[in-house]
């Protein structure tokens, strides 16, 4: 029976790691890209030209694709709390239930409603109302991320609570909402999301410029936007990451000692925690904790050098349109922000073990009472579904990105299309009227 319980625990942890990590891939691009789209539309609304409007439609369509598939992964992932982690909801549901409920209202009702208005409101809503819709979508996306990190921050640094009859009860909402483990992570994630969007924009633009696209003005502008966004986002991400590491040294000294590979400190902390909580292994896996941090740092170092060089190169016209080696490097760098994000998430979560709520509830006590066979079946179903969604999203993004701005359905004025006589020949787009690039 003990071996069965251990297998169920390992399978449940693996399932949540794979599905939460898969969902995080969508969130990173969604948060960053919606901010870019909102800023581009603001410029277009305040007197921008036709090029600005086309930028909004093209990047907005890629954002919508990523959001639509990503929200399915979020809905599916929610089922795991009840299926695999009933002990967590039983013990800490009074705190986590409130924060997750607010996140659901914000994400699934407010954000989705205004996103629908933005998608279907092209050429139907006034320009100011349409601009307001995308900014409400952006702000509610931020709010959704904040509430999720409030929940996760409580798991890493439980504050503002009291224990009644073996259950965690909310005692100080302000302390939970201002938890440093949540606030620092929130800023770090947002900056990382902007970094992800910057790399994505630069890579898609570099792909088209490498292929000598006739839309060279469009993608030259997009490449500059991506690079000029990525560099400051990388700097802010680094600063907030450093502040988080300092905070971890105080709030989770075991995780910090594992990261620093301080064996003497680990031995002292193990003895201290054994005396406090009883016999047990209170040192998290060094391979996962330290390995996740190293993946994050290596990927981030590569991104920082690339964004610094790109920030300088983007000022030179010849580099933007003719430096093909740089184009290839930008295309190849697309996985880097995702690797850094996943590595950082593994470091944050694996370093909390053996606790699911740090110092209050062990992971082994939070898992549901399931048979190994049921857990294996659940793992196969969830993992297969998430893998299919990740592949589908990559294919859709690649398909729409390769087609370019000339084949964008978002914002197309169907009434104007219906009024066009096909005998007049194909319309001449703004790119067709531009002079050929001077390569």
Give the model confidence (pLDDT) of 317-371 as tens digits: 888 898 999 999 999 999 999 999 999 999 999 999 999 999 899 999 888 888 8
Q: Report the pLDDT value the prediction gives residue 415, as an integer from 0 to 100.
A: 56
Q: Report the pLDDT value the prediction gives residue 17, as an integer from 0 to 100.
A: 87
Of 60, 62, 73, 66, give the one whose Cα is nearest residue 120. Answer: 60
Q: How is 374-408 classified by DSSP, letter by letter?
A: HHHHHHHHHHHHHHHHHHHHHHHHHHHHHH-GGG-
Q: What is the pTM of this model?
A: 0.89
Q: Report the pLDDT value the prediction gives residue 385, as an integer from 0 to 100.
A: 87
Q: What does the alpha-carbon distance between residue 293 and residue 259 come to, in Å, rounded to a whole number? A: 7
Residue 19 preceded by cis peptide, ω within 30 = no
Question: Considering just the CA atoms, what is the radius of gyration of the chain in Å?
Answer: 24
Q: Report the pLDDT value the prediction gives residue 2, as an integer from 0 to 100.
A: 62
Give the model confidence (pLDDT) of 181-208 as tens digits: 999 999 999 999 999 999 999 999 999 9
Domain ranges of the chain: 2-162+171-364+373-412
Q: Report the pLDDT value the prediction gives residue 423, as an integer from 0 to 100.
A: 43
Q: Report the pLDDT value the prediction gives residue 242, as an integer from 0 to 100.
A: 92
Q: Report the pLDDT value the prediction gives residue 406, as an integer from 0 to 100.
A: 84
Instruction: Determine contact, residues 69/393, Cβ cutoff 8 Å.
Output: yes
Give the relative orientation of helices 286-313 and 253-260 as an angle to the nearest 10 degrees.
70
Of 106, 122, 108, give the one whose Cα is nearest residue 61. Answer: 122
Q: Which positions of the chain have pLDDT values less than 50? A: 418-439
């Amino acid at each position: 029976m003990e071996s069965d319980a251990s297998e169920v625990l390992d399978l449940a942890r693996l399932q949540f790691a794979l599905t939460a990590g898969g969902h995080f891939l969508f969130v990173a691009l969604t948060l960053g890209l919606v901010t870019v789209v909102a800023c581009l539309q603001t410029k277009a609304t305040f007197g921008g030209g036709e090029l600005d409007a086309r930028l909004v439609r093209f990047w907005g369509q890629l954002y919508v694709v990523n959001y639509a598939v990503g929200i399915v992964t979020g809905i599916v992932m929610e089922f795991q709390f009840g299926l695999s982690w009933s002990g967590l909801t039983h013990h800490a549901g009074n705190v986590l239930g409130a924060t997750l409920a607010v996140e659901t209202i914000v994400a699934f009702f407010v954000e989705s409603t205004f996103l629908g208005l933005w998608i279907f409101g092209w050429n139907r809503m006034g320009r100011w109302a349409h601009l307001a819709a995308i900014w409400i979508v952006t702000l509610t996306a931020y709010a959704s991320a904040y509430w999720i990190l409030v929940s996760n921050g409580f798991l890493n640094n439980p504050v503002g609570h009291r224990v009644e009859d073996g259950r965690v009860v909310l005692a100080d909402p302000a302390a939970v909402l201002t938890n440093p483990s949540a606030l620092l992570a929130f800023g770090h994630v947002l900056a990382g999301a902007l970094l992800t969007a910057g790399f994505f924009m630069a890579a898609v633009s570099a792909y088209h410029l490498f292929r000598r696209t006739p839309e060279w003005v469009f993608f030259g502008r997009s490449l500059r936007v991506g690079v000029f966004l990525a560099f400051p986002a990388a700097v802010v991400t680094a600063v907030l990451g450093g502040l988080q590491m300092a905070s971890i040294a105080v709030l989770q000294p075991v995780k910090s000692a594992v990261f620093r590979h301080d064996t003497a400190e680990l031995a002292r902390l193990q003895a201290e925690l054994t005396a406090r909580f009883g016999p047990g292994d209170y040192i998290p896996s060094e391979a996962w904790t330290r390995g996740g941090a190293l993946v994050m740092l290596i990927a981030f170092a590569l991104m920082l050098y690339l964004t610094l060089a790109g920030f300088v190169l983007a000022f030179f016209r010849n580099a933007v349109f003719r430096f093909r080696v740089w184009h290839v490097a930008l295309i190849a760098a697309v996985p880097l922000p995702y690797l850094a994000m996943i590595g950082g998430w593994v470091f944050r979560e694996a370093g909390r073990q053996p606790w699911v709520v740090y110092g209050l509830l062990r992971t082994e006590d939070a898992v549901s009472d399931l048979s190994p066979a049921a857990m294996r079946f659940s793992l196969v179903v969830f993992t297969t579904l998430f893998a299919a969604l990740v592949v589908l999203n990559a294919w859709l993004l690649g398909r729409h990105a390769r087609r370019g701005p000339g084949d964008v359905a978002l914002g197309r004025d169907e009434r104007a299309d219906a009024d066009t006589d096909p005998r007049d020949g194909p319309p001449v787009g703004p790119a067709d009227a531009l002079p050929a690039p001077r390569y």
